[in-house]
Amino acid sequence: MGDKFDFSFGEEDSIEGMKRLIVEEVNSFCEMVRTHAPRVKRANLPLPSRDDMINSPIHEYAPPNGATSSFTHGGGGGGRPPSPIMDDPSEDLERELAGTHLAGRKF
């Protein structure tokens, strides 16, 4: 796999031309990577019958409302789980900089 990602699209002057070249290069790169990636052999497991599913011992322990977890129906928390993405990542940086000796200096 000697091919590398080609960044020559940076030489394009127009934004539309650059977008087109980036898309072409990404598609080409993905195709090249996929052809060199080892094929994962999928196990052909038989699908259980409807009767097997209904008679499954797991069904005995399922909640009466059919929920599979507290996440499915909101659980005891009531609201949405907290977002893993910060709303404004610059707030942490501002706080950190405010505590340094550079705070308040004009450059």
Contact between 21 and 9 (Cβ < 8 Å): yes
Could you give the 3-state DSSP secondary structure of residue 33?
A: helix
Q: Give DSSP secondary structure letters for 10-26.
A: GG--SHHHHHHHHHHHH
- What is the reported pTM? 0.29
Predicted pLDDT of residue 1? 47
For 6-37, how does the pLDDT look when each residue is reduced to its tens digit (9 = 90+)? 666 667 778 888 888 888 888 888 888 877 76
For 53-105, how does the pLDDT look when each residue is reduced to its tens digit (9 = 90+)? 777 766 566 666 666 665 555 444 555 666 666 567 677 777 777 776 655 55
